[in-house]
Amino acid sequence: MLLHYRVLDLTDEKGWMCGKILSELGADVVKVERPGGDPARNIGPFYQDIPDPEKSLYWFAYNTNKRGITLDIETSRGQEILKQLVTGADFVIESFPPGYLSGLGLGYSQLSEINPKIIMTSITPFGQTGPYKDYKGCDLVAMAMGGFMYVCGDADRPPVRVSMEQSYPIAGAEAAAGSLIAHHYRILTGEGQHVDVSIQECIVREIFMELCFWDASKEVSVRAGPRRRRMAAYQRDIWPCKDGHLGFRILGGRLGAGTLQALTDWMDTENMAGNLKGMDFESLDMSKVTRAESQEWENTLLQFFSRHSKEEIYQKAVEKNMLICPGYTPEELVEYEQLEERNFWTELQYPELDTTIKQPEGFLRASEARCQIRRCAPLIGEYNEEIYGKELGFTKRELALLKKEGII
Amino acid sequence: MNREAKSKRKKAPLEGIKVLDLSTQYMGPNVTRALAAFGAEVIRLESIHQHELTRVSAPYKDNVVGVNRSFVFAASNTGKYGISLNLKHPHSAEVVRRLIIWADIVVENFVPGSAKKYGLDYEQLRELKTDIIVLSLSAQGATGPYSRHPGYGFNLLALCGFSHFTGWPDREASVPVGAYTDFLCPWFAIAAILSALDYRLRTGKGQHIDVSQLEISPHFLIPAILDYTANGRVQTRCGNRSSSASPHGAFRCRGDDRWCVIAVFSDEEWETFCRVIGSPEWTKDRKFNTLGGRKDNEDELDKLVEAWTVLSTPEEVMTRMQKSGVASGVVQTIKDVVNDPQLKHRERFQILEHPELGAHICENLAFRLSKCEVEWKRPAPCLGEHNEFVYTKLLGMSEEEFVELLNDGVFE
pLDDT band at B3 (very low <50, low <70, confident <90, very high): very low
Q: Which of A329, A363, A387 is the last residue in one of the domains?
A: A329
Interchain CB contact of B406 with A (< 8 Å)? no
Q: Give the C-alpha distances (Å, rounded to integers) separating B3 from A1, A188, A280, A292.
A: 36, 18, 63, 67
Contact A338 B231 (CB under 8 A): no
Q: Which of A269, A297, A329 is the last residue in one of the domains?
A: A329
- Looking at residue B9, what is its pLDDT? 63
Note the pLDDT tens digit of each residue in B86-100.
999 999 999 999 999
* Position A337 in a domain: no
pLDDT band at B344 (very low <50, low <70, confident <90, very high): very high
Residues B179 and B320 in one domain: no
* Position B240 in a domain: no
- Looking at residue B329, what is its pLDDT? 98
Residues A57 and A181 in one domain: yes
Mean pLDDT of chain A: 96
Residues B187 and B215 in one domain: yes
Lowest mean pLDDT across A265-269, B6-10, B187-191, B371-375: B6-10
* Contacts B113 to A, Cβ<8 Å: none
Give CA torsion, residues B341, B344, B346, B348, to 10 deg: 130
Interchain CB contact of B34 with A (< 8 Å)? yes
Question: Cβ(A371)–Cβ(A361) under 8 Å?
Answer: no
How far is the first Cα of chain B from the last one, in angstroms, to the nearest whole number? 35
- Looking at residue A291, what is its pLDDT? 84
Contact B174 A152 (CB under 8 A): yes
* Contacts A222 to B, Cβ<8 Å: 257
* Position A216 in a domain: no
Contact A150 B61 (CB under 8 A): no
* Position A391 in a domain: yes
Question: Strands A227-230, A222-224: parallel, antiparallel or unpaired by DSSP?
Answer: antiparallel
Q: How far apart are CA B140 and CA B45, in angstroms?
A: 24
Residues A123 and A245 in one domain: no
Q: How far apart are CA A55 and CA A57, in angstroms?
A: 6
- Looking at residue A228, what is its pLDDT? 87
Across A77-98, average pLDDT:
98
Residues B367 and B313 in one domain: no
Domain count, chain A: 2
* Position A226 in a domain: no
Contact A205 B363 (CB under 8 A): yes
Q: How many CB atoms lie within 10 A of CB B277?
A: 19
- Looking at residue A196, what is its pLDDT? 98
* Position B2 in a domain: no
Among A205, A305, A324, the strongest candidate for a mutation testing the B interface, having the largest count of B CBs within 10 A, is A205
Residues B98 and B201 in one domain: yes
Q: Which of A285, A307, A329 is the last residue in one of the domains?
A: A329
* Position B293 in a domain: yes
* Position A220 in a domain: no
- Looking at residue A203, what is its pLDDT? 98
Query: Across the beta sheet with B259-263, what order do the strands follow?
Result: B248-252, B259-263, B327-330
- Looking at residue A292, what is its pLDDT? 87
Residues B29 and B129 in one domain: yes
* Position A219 in a domain: no
Closest CA in chain B for residue A350: B230
Q: Strand runs (DSSP E) across A294-340, as ranges?
A: 325-326
Closest CA in chain A for residue B221: A164
Residues A33 and A131 in one domain: yes
Note the pLDDT tens digit of each residue in A195-231.
999 999 999 999 999 999 999 999 998 999 999 876 6
Interchain CB contact of B173 with A (< 8 Å)? yes
Residue-number span of the structural domain to which B314 is assigned:
248-333
Closest CA in chain A for residue B10: A189
* Position B235 in a domain: no
Question: Strands A345-350, A355-360: parallel, antiparallel or unpaired by DSSP?
Answer: antiparallel
Q: How far apart are CA A213 and CA A219, in angstroms?
A: 6
Give CA torsion, residues B220, B226, B227, B228, to 10 deg: 100
* Phi-psi category of residue A352: left, alpha or beta, with phi > 0 → left and psi -120 to 50 → alpha: alpha
Select from A147, A193, A208 the Cβ nearest to the Cβ of B75.
A208
* Position B5 in a domain: no
- Cβ under 8 Å to A: B residues 356-385: 360-361, 363-372
Question: Cβ(B259)–Cβ(B252) under 8 Å?
Answer: yes
B198 three-state secondary structure: helix
- Looking at residue A232, what is its pLDDT? 63
* Phi-psi category of residue B27: left, alpha or beta, with phi > 0 → left and psi -120 to 50 → alpha: alpha
B369 three-state secondary structure: strand
Name the nearest CA neighbour of B370 among A240, A60, A118.
Answer: A118
Name the nearest CA neighbour of B50 among B26, B75, B67.
Answer: B67
Name the nearest CA neighbour of A150 among A237, A265, A49, A229.
Answer: A229
Residues B264 and B360 in one domain: no
Q: How far apart are CA A297 and CA A290, in angstroms?
A: 11
Among B54, B72, B187, B351, the strongest candidate for a mutation testing the A interface, having the largest count of A CBs within 10 A, is B187
Q: Which residue type sits at B11?
A: K
Q: Report the run of H or E that residue B138 belongs to, with start and end.
A: strand B133-138
pLDDT above 90 for A273: yes
Indicate yes or no: pTM above 0.90: yes
Q: How far apart are CA A373 and CA A117, in angstroms?
A: 28
- Looking at residue B2, what is its pLDDT? 46
* Contacts B177 to A, Cβ<8 Å: 148, 151-152, 206-207, 209-210
**How far from the centroid of its chain's Cα atoms is residue A250's Cα?**
29
Residue-number span of the structural domain to which A248 is assigned:
237-329
Mean pLDDT of chain B: 95
* Contacts B54 to A, Cβ<8 Å: none
Name the nearest CA neighbour of A195 among B194, B346, B369.
Answer: B369
Name the nearest CA neighbour of B137 among B80, B199, B181.
Answer: B181
**How far from the centroid of its chain's Cα atoms is residue A19's Cα?**
12
* Helices (H), ranges, A149-192: 167-189
Contact B229 A131 (CB under 8 A): no
Nearest 5°: CA angle at A18, between A15 and A23? 135
B33 three-state secondary structure: helix
Residues A66 and A97 in one domain: yes
Across A119-135, average pLDDT:
98
Q: How far apart are CA A163 and CA B235, in angstroms?
A: 10
* Position A334 in a domain: no
* Position A82 in a domain: yes
- Looking at residue A287, what is its pLDDT? 78
Residues B299 and B329 in one domain: yes
Q: Report the run of H or E that residue A30 belongs to, with start and end.
A: strand A28-33
Residues A157 and A61 in one domain: yes
Contact A195 B199 (CB under 8 A): no
CATH of the domain at B97: 3.40.50.10540
B5 or B359: which carries more pLDDT confidence? B359
Residues A47 and A16 in one domain: yes
Note the pLDDT tens digit of each residue in A326-372.
999 999 999 999 999 999 999 999 999 999 999 999 899 999 998 88
* Position B228 in a domain: no
Residues A321 and A373 in one domain: no
Interchain CB contact of B251 with A (< 8 Å)? yes
Residues B253 and B200 in one domain: no
pLDDT band at B1 (very low <50, low <70, confident <90, very high): very low
